[in-house]
Amino acid sequence: MLDTLSGSNYCSFVTATRREQAVQLRLAGLSRSRIAEALGLAPGGGEPLTTWPRDVPVPAWTKRPRAKDDIRETAVAMRKEGRSYREIREVVGVSKSTLSLWLRDVPSDRGATACAGLAVPLGRDSAGSSHPRQRRAARSVIQSEARAQIARLSESELFVAGVVAYWAEGAKNKPWRTGARVSFLNSDPAMILLFLQWLALIGVERDRLQFRLHIHESADVAAAEEFWAATVGVPAQIFDRTTLKRHNPVTVRKNVNECYRGCLCISVRRSTDLNLRIAGWFDGIAAGAGTLVGGSGVV
């Protein structure tokens, strides 16, 4: 038959035959380079192998998997466990924007402890497990055991605790501003109650106290006032006018959920001398602490 074909018809016949062979080889699962080698074509096959087997499905083994599929699955699994973006990035090593794209629809268990007031974790090993509920339970046990070590507070211990708390959080005299009265600001109800107990211990009458709420304007101000009034046991109507902080729409602060109740400020009328005494008390405590173990300053 080949002898009866003209030159142009012969070339067409050979081309058609090679096309059929290329299709069959592709269906058999060969790569382009293997097909080109089998048909005596240039390395890679060039244009013919781009057009001839065009309608033939690409063999599954030649498809390159997405390079980041495995680490994406790892990131998703970690997020479902309640891990933070920072913790996940330390493991998978991708950018924050990539992580945000991957995890935007992934539910996280982190919000469950937003208002729980648990102790700060001491590390993943001390928590005992990577499961969120077990970690929370382990942290709760650590906190409960530590609390049990404080069986009963003596008056002297409360006195020292109150002085130190005030020196950390209260208003103090400065070289450029003297005559400051006693004023204590905090967002922790337990700290506020400790301070009130300390004031009672040192003989400050309740009618000398003034209360003022400091809170961002975007919060539920009325609910916060009622919360603090109930905490300290006074009517909200006696509070001084609330100090509102301007809201920043692009804020990065975390205290923006329903647990946010601002800070309560407790001020004591006629207390400039008391403020000076607190400074002296703290100086005495600090000096005494330095002598507990031979002046090394380490207990």
Angle at 92 between CA 128 and CA 65, to 5 degrees: 125
CA atoms within 13 A on the CB side of 215: 24
List the beta bridge partners of residue 210. Answer: 267
| pLDDT at residue number 268 | 97
Cα–Cα distances in angstroms (integers) from residue 253 to residues 61, 113, 247, 256, in the given order: 49, 17, 11, 7
Among 141, 92, 144, 136, which Cα is nearest to 115's? 136
Query: Where does the pLDDT of residue 177 fall: very low under 50, low under 70, confident under 90, or very high at 90 and above?
Result: confident
pLDDT at 126 over 50: no
| pLDDT at residue number 82 | 81
Query: Where does the pLDDT of residue 172 fall: very low under 50, low under 70, confident under 90, or very high at 90 and above?
Result: very high
Query: Where does the pLDDT of residue 110 fall: very low under 50, low under 70, confident under 90, or very high at 90 and above?
Result: low
Q: What is the mean pLDDT of residues 97-121?
A: 62
| Integer Cα distance of 259 and 133 in angstroms | 21
DSSP SS3 for 39: helix
What pTM did the predictor assign?
0.54
| pLDDT at residue number 136 | 83
The residues spanned by each domain of the chain are: 2-62, 69-111+120-147, 155-249+260-289
Tell me which amino acid residue 195 is. Answer: F
Q: Which residue has the higher pLDDT, 6 or 254?
A: 254
Instruction: Give the whole-number percent of the chain exceeding pLDDT 70.
Output: 70
| Integer Cα distance of 153 and 197 in angstroms | 12
| pLDDT at residue number 13 | 47
pLDDT tens, residue by residue, 254-298: 565 668 899 999 999 999 999 999 999 999 999 998 777 555 544
pLDDT at 107 over 70: yes
DSSP string, 149-190: T-----HHHHHHHHHHHHHHHB---BTTB--PPPEEEES-HH
Least confident of 78-82, 166-170, 173-177, 195-199: 78-82
Q: What is the β-pairing status of strands 263-268 and 183-186?
A: antiparallel
Q: What is the mean pLDDT of residues 241-265?
A: 77
pLDDT at 187 over 70: yes
H-helix or E-strand containing 212?
strand 209-216
Query: Where does the pLDDT of residue 222 fall: very low under 50, low under 70, confident under 90, or very high at 90 and above?
Result: very high
| pLDDT at residue number 49 | 62
